[in-house]
Amino acid sequence: MDHFDEAGAAVQAALDAGARYADARVMLRRTETMSARDGEVEDLSSDESAGLGVRALVGSSWGFYAVPDLSDAAARAAGRRAAEIAAASALVPGPAIDLVPAGAGTASWASPCEIDPLSVPLSTKGDLLVAATAAARDAGADLAEGIYQIWDTRKWFVSSDGHRIDQHIRECGAGITASAYGDGEIQRRSWPSHRGQYGTRGWELVDELALTDNAARMADEARALLTAPLCPSGETTLILGGEQLALQIHESVGHAIELDRILGWEAAFAGTSWLDLDRLGSLRYGSELMNITIDPTIPGALGSFGYDDEGSPAAPRDAVRNGIWVGVLAGRDSAAMAGLDYAGSVRSDGWARLPMVRMTNVGLEPGPHTLDEIIAATDDGVLMDINRSWSIDDRRLNFQFGCEIGWEIKNGKRGRMLRNPTYTGIGPKFWQSMDMLSSETVAWGTPNCGKGQPGQVGHTGHPAAPARFTNVRVGVRG
């Protein structure tokens, strides 16, 4: 059963109420989450959400209204309400709004999925988390935690520009964490990432993570960190593992190239951007090694889709090429306002939320080396991996990251484990110092990107490989 008729009714009602453009999405989403602690399942939740959100453009003002009722009458009422809200926006009007073209027509898309994650028996999924957390606990963790999450989303999109697009996107992922308690501090090791690995794939992704096989090592390393020397303070050569680099890309590149931030639309909350559109195409963002792409077509990555929530088809695009800033994440209205001719990066986290500019898969193209080669080429430095904390200013310039684990690098070899490693810097200066880059790329998934008011949680993907940076300040402490 499709829901194009309900979405179409909402769009027509908004047009009848005076909108010059309208679009509507019906979304059905099932989610399932299980968490486990110390060999026992702690929480299991299976949720279902269904509803319709309609967006109306009246004059130069937007309105959005959402309801969980999929009847024809409710859909029409929602369309009228969206137009009414748009009309109220005109009390404090902005500049004229245009929309760049978004393709058009009828289309259907589904993400790849070998094993439907919702069809895997709960007992099988529970046994996995129980076994993995028990293994970490048995190996000496004071606290062992595990989690999996599944999202199964179907949506039907209709616009007054002629779109009729349906999509079925299945996402899932999992991870475990082992904690060790010391004298007034806690050390933590996570596998495969600090909140797990996620993608637009089926349960085969979770099977590949080998959670139980890595549990004891995580516990061992967490305990070892309690007595490891502190990360030294000062400037040094920094090698980042791919998982940490993925979050570095997310925070200091992905958010900075969001066009709504650049235009000031997020100024009061998420913030703006240090990037100035006048320098698009000429500004040096990083070293020649820095090639960042926006690519929602990567099979299985968490930021993949067939069409965004404005109906723009997924397409790869350069954001940074040979260190020069060349592209942004854009929506139909923000692109038109900036004088750009492309959109394609607008999504919402559900039927009740307004679609907005969001990262898709924003990743760093691989380099020529291996991590071992990078270590071998480093006389003196620190290797850090697996994020522990992240913070960046509202213009996306000044960042400070903490990692779960670090290692001393001396004379081309990995040495002692280091405790509480942190590093800090300024985005473009940091990226310009990147002088070695690995070929060992993984598309890391970030399922908890917060943005917007009312708040929305976005799912993004970040292909990244280990890389080396020079003259980075490390070891910031409180």
Partner 1 sequence: MTTPVTAEVDLAGRVVELTRSLAGAGAEAEVVAAHTAEALTRFANSAIHQNVADATTTVSLRLHLDGRTASGSTTVTDAEGLRSLVERTVAAARLSPPDPAWPGLTPPTPLPADAGYDEATAAAGPRERAIRVRDFVQAAEGLETAGFCRTAYASGAFANTAGHTVHGRSAEAAMDGIARLAGADGVARRAAGRLAELDGAALGARAAAKARAATSPVELPPGRYEVVLEPTAVADLLDNLASFGFNGKAYAQHQSFAELGAQQFDRGITITDEPLGATLPFDMEGTPRATLLLVEDGVTRAVSHDRTSAAEAGSASTGHASAASRSWGPIAANLHLAAGPIANAVPEPSAGPTASSARALVAGMRRGLLITDLWYTRVLDQKSLVITGLTRNGVWLVENGEVTAAVSNMRFTQSYPQALGPGAVLGVGAEAVAVPDRWSGVRYTAPALHLASWNLTGNASG
Of residues 86-125, those binding partner 1 (CB under 8 A): 86, 88-95, 121-123
Binding residues among 242-271 for partner 1 as defined by CB under 8 A: 263-269
Does position 339 interact with partner 1 (CB under 8 A)? The reply is no
**269 vs 368, beta carbon nearer partner 1:** 269
Secondary element (H or E) of residue 81:
helix 72-89
Q: How far apart are CA 47 and CA 167, in angstroms?
A: 20
Please return the burial class of 389, using the count of CB atoms within 10 Å of its CB with bins 0-12, 13-18 and 19+.
exposed
**297 vs 470, beta carbon nearer partner 1:** 470
Provide the mask over 272-311, with x wherever binding to partner 1 is found by CB under 8 A and - wherever it is not: ----------------------------------------
Q: How far apart are CA 368 and CA 437, in angstroms?
A: 7
Kindly give the pairing relationship between strand 413-418 and strand 398-410.
Answer: antiparallel
CB contact at 8 A, 333 and 342: no
Closest CA to 132 of 177, 188, 186: 177
Question: 124 Cβ partners below 8 Å, 6+ apart?
Answer: none
**359 vs 375, beta carbon nearer partner 1:** 359
Does position 210 interact with partner 1 (CB under 8 A)? The reply is no
Question: Taking the complex as a whole, how short is the minimal distance between the CB of residue 439 and partner 1, in angstroms?
Answer: 31
Beta-carbon count within 10 A of 250 CB: 23
Question: Taking the complex as a whole, how short is the minimal distance between the CB of residue 35 and partner 1, in angstroms?
Answer: 4
Q: Among 53, 175, 311, 406, which residue sits at the site for partner 1 (rule: CB under 8 A)?
A: 53
Kindly give the pairing relationship between strand 106-110 and strand 164-181.
Answer: parallel
Question: Taking the complex as a whole, how short is the minimal distance between the CB of residue 317 and partner 1, in angstroms?
Answer: 24
Binding residues among 405-444 for partner 1 as defined by CB under 8 A: 420, 422, 424-426, 429
Q: How far apart are CA 376 and CA 92, in angstroms?
A: 60
Does position 48 interact with partner 1 (CB under 8 A)? The reply is yes
Does position 472 interact with partner 1 (CB under 8 A)? The reply is no
Binding residues among 371-400 for partner 1 as defined by CB under 8 A: 388-394, 397-398, 400
**36 vs 314, beta carbon nearer partner 1:** 36
Does position 313 interact with partner 1 (CB under 8 A)? The reply is no
Please return the burial class of 264, using the count of CB atoms within 10 Å of its CB with bins 0-12, 13-18 and 19+.
exposed
Does position 147 interact with partner 1 (CB under 8 A)? The reply is yes
Does position 164 interact with partner 1 (CB under 8 A)? The reply is no
Q: What letter represents residue 85's amino acid?
A: I
Whole-number Cα distances in Å, 33 to 49, 72, 124, 335, 460: 14, 32, 14, 37, 19
How many helices (H) and strands (E) the chain has is answered by 10, 23
Q: Among 4, 18, 35, 109, which residue sits at the site for partner 1 (rule: CB under 8 A)?
A: 35
Contacts with partner 1 by CB under 8 A: the residue count is 85
Whole-number Cα distances in Å, 331 to 311, 341, 380: 10, 10, 45
Q: Among 179, 190, 378, 441, which residue sits at the site for partner 1 (rule: CB under 8 A)?
A: 179
Does position 127 interact with partner 1 (CB under 8 A)? The reply is yes
Question: Taking the complex as a whole, how short is the minimal distance between the CB of residue 189 and partner 1, in angstroms?
Answer: 15
Question: Taking the complex as a whole, how short is the minimal distance between the CB of residue 360 and partner 1, in angstroms?
Answer: 21
Question: Taking the complex as a whole, how short is the minimal distance between the CB of residue 285 and partner 1, in angstroms?
Answer: 16
